[in-house]
Structure 1
C-alpha cells in the first residue's frame, strides 16, 4: 500500500488527486505539530476531508491528546472522529489498554507506533483478544538529520513483527517539497535521508519486509509515486539510464531477469544475437549496461548490468550506464524483478 502525507500549511488538493491516480490509498496527517499553523483549520480541514472522501483516500491522523484539542472536540471522543470521516488512526502513544484498542477496532483500522511496540506487548494483545489482522505497525519519521534509525535497528525490530505476520509501515522522504520547519526530509531510516525515495522504498520492501510505504514529506514527484506503486504491485523496477543510439530500442520495454543471478552481473532475459561487432569494450564500471559481442561465441548479444566495478573484457561492449542516483537499486534486483530502462 502506498500513502502520502499532507500538512495544512502545504495543502495542495491537486497533489491529492494525482497521488490517487498513482495508486495511493492513504493520506497521513499530523494534528499536533508545534510548528503547524492551525489558525484556519476550520476552513481547511472540511475541504481536505471532503476531497479525500471523494477521491477514495483514507485519512490517517496521528492521534495524541493534543489532536482532540486542535480539532476542538472533547478529549478521547473517537465517535466524533468517525463522524468526521476518519477511517484509520495512527495511535502515537499512551494506548497500553488493550480494551481501548479492541473498542477502537470496531470503527477504525489502527496503526500503532512501532517504536514502542515490543514482543511482550504483542503477546499481551493476542491474549486480550485484539485482532492483529486489523493492526499495522507504523514506524516514526525523524525530521532532524542524524536522528533516524539505523537499517540494522530497523530490521531487528521488523523481524519481531514479521514473526507475528503483522503489517509493517515506514516513511521515505519526498523529492519535491520537504516539510517545514527544518526541510531536512522525513525518513524512518537515516541513510534514506539523502537517497532517492524510490531507491529507499525498494530497499525497505525488498530487505526489510515493509508492506506499506508512506511519503513523509509534504510532496513527492508523480514519477516517484508511480515508480513505488509499480514496484509494490508488480515488482517492476523503472531505472533511468543512458543507452547508446544503436541500443535505444531497449528503452521502455519490460525486461525479465534470469532466476539464477550471478554475484557480479545482472543477466537480462533478452534474445541473443549472433556476430555482434566489437564496440566500445572498456572497463565495466558499476552500473554499466553491457552487451556481449562476437568474441563471446554463443553468448553474443546477451545483455548484462554490472553490479560492481569489473575489469576490461574484449568480449564485452559497454552500451550504456545506469543513472548514479539509482545504482543502489542493483543490489535489490532478484529473479522476480522486471526491469524497465527509462531515458534520462
Structure 2
C-alpha cells in the first residue's frame, strides 16, 4: 500500500509553499523539484535553489530532482553525483540527453527515475538488470486535453512493472495551482477536475501506481487528511451530502458487500448502523442518478434500512429514498470501492 502523498515544490512559488512544507515533519516523504525550468533562471538561481534544498532536507523531505546535463553546468559541479551531494538529493529524474549506459551507471550510486511514457519494456529490462534503484515516472500535463488516456496509463504502467520498475505519477492540487495555465497538473487527463484524494485513490487502486505526487504546489488540508487516512488504514473517505435526519451515518465504517453488483455498492452494515429498522418511511423517492446514496423504505419490508451507493443511473422507485449525493469531483471514488473493501462517508465541507 502507498504510504504517503509526494509533493512538488517550485522555486518561484517556494515562499508560498514554505509554511505548509514545515507544518509537520516530513519523515522521509518524497518531494519533486525541477532544476531546468528556464523561467526560473536568474543571477541568484543557484543560491536560491541551494537555500530551498537545504530547507527541504532539514525538514526531512526526500528530494527527487528533475535534471539534465545542462543542470550540472549551471551549478558548476563535476558531475550529477556531486550535484546530488551538494543539494541533498535522494534521486535524479533524468529528463533527456542520457544514454542507457549513463543511466545504469548513475543508478549504481543513487535512485534514478526515467520517463515512464517513453521508456520501452526492453530498456526497462536492461535498466532493472543493471542493479541499483530505477523508477519510471510519468509526466504531468499542464495543458488541458493533453493528459494520458486510461488505456495508455494502464498498459505502460503494467509493462514497466512487469520488467521490475516501480512506476510513479501525478495528481492535481486544489489549494494552490501552478501557472501559467492554472488548470491542474495531472498525469491522467480524466483527473484534471477531480478532487486530489479521488485522483490519488484512483491511481492507487485502479492503476496500481507505486508512488504518487501532487503536481500542483498545494493540496488542501482536508484532501491531505483523506489521503493520509487511506494510506494508513486502507479505508476510503467518501464525501457525501446527506439529507437532514441521516447524519448519524457519517464517519462509520462500511463494507462493500462481496456480492454487490457492478451498478451498486451495497452497504454490508446497513441495518446495523441505520437505526431505522422497519420504520423508514417513504421520502424523496426520486430518480436515482449515479453518485446518489439511497435507503430502502418500508415498501421493501425486511430490506427496510438497507443502503446503496448508485454507480449506474436508475429510475425512481417509491420503495427507495434518495438520502444523499456524492459531489461530482469525487465521482472517481465510486469505481474505487471494491467488493469486500471498507469505506466511510464523510461530511462535505
TM-score of the alignment, normalized to the shorter chain, above 0.5: yes
Q: What does residue 319 of structure 2 align with?
A: 315
Deviation of 1:292 (Å): 1.5
Hey, what's the Cα distance between the residues in 2 that align with 1:67 and 1:336?
49
Q: What does residue 304 of structure 1 align with?
A: 308
Hey, what's the Cα distance between the residues in 1 that align with 2:228 and 2:281?
39
Q: What does residue 17 of structure 1 align with?
A: 22
Q: Tell me, what secondary structure is at the counterpart of 1:112?
A: strand
Contact kept in structure 2, 1:65 and 1:75, CA below 8 Å: no
Matches within 5 A, 1:201-280: 201-272=200-271, 273-280=276-283
Q: What does residue 161 of structure 1 align with?
A: 160
Q: Would you identify which runs of 4 or more consecutive aligned residues in structure 1 move more than 6 Å? A: none
Hey, what's the Cα distance between the residues in 1 that align with 2:94 and 2:124?
15
Hey, what's the Cα distance between the residues in 2 that align with 1:330 and 1:296?
25
1:248-295 C-alpha deviation (Å, 9 max, x unpaired): 111122222212221221111225153123221222222221111222
Hey, what's the Cα distance between the residues in 2 that align with 1:286 and 1:146?
24
Q: What does residue 288 of structure 1 align with?
A: 292
Q: What does residue 339 of structure 1 align with?
A: 343
Unaligned runs of 5+ in 2: none
1:91-136 C-alpha deviation (Å, 9 max, x unpaired): 11233333x3343234322211112211111232345x334xx221
Hey, what's the Cα distance between the residues in 1 that align with 2:44 and 2:252?
48
Hey, what's the Cα distance between the residues in 2 that align with 1:34 and 1:299?
63
Corresponding position: 1:78 with 2:81: yes
Hey, what's the Cα distance between the residues in 2 that align with 1:337 and 1:20?
31
Contact kept in structure 2, 1:167 and 1:211, CA below 8 Å: yes
Corresponding position: 1:89 with 2:92: yes
Deviation of 1:338 (Å): 2.4
- Most deviating of 38-47 and 185-194: 38-47
Give the length in aligned residue pairs: 338
Q: What does residue 169 of structure 2 align with?
A: 170
The two structures have a TM-score, normalised by structure 2, of 0.88
- Most deviating of 237-246 and 32-41: 32-41
Unaligned runs of 5+ in 1: none
Q: What does residue 143 of structure 1 align with?
A: 142
Matches within 5 A, 1:45-84: 45-70=49-74, 72-74=75-77, 76-84=79-87
Deviation of 1:75 (Å): 5.3
Cα RMSD, aligned residues only: 2.3
Deviation of 1:238 (Å): 1.6
1:329 pairs with one of 319, 327, 333: 333
The two structures have a TM-score, normalised by structure 1, of 0.89
Corresponding position: 1:2 with 2:5: yes
Q: Tell me, what secondary structure is at the counterpart of 1:93?
A: coil
Q: What does residue 41 of structure 1 align with?
A: 45
Contact kept in structure 2, 1:177 and 1:219, CA below 8 Å: yes
Deviation of 1:309 (Å): 1.6
Hey, what's the Cα distance between the residues in 2 that align with 1:136 and 1:292?
48
Deviation of 1:319 (Å): 1.6
Residue 213 and residue 175 in structure 1: after superposition, are their counterparts in 2 closer, same or farther (change >3 A)?
same
Deviation of 1:59 (Å): 1.0
1:30 pairs with one of 21, 34, 38: 34
Contact kept in structure 2, 1:9 and 1:37, CA below 8 Å: no
Q: Tell me, what secondary structure is at the counterpart of 1:142?
A: coil
Contact kept in structure 1, 2:297 and 2:305, CA below 8 Å: yes
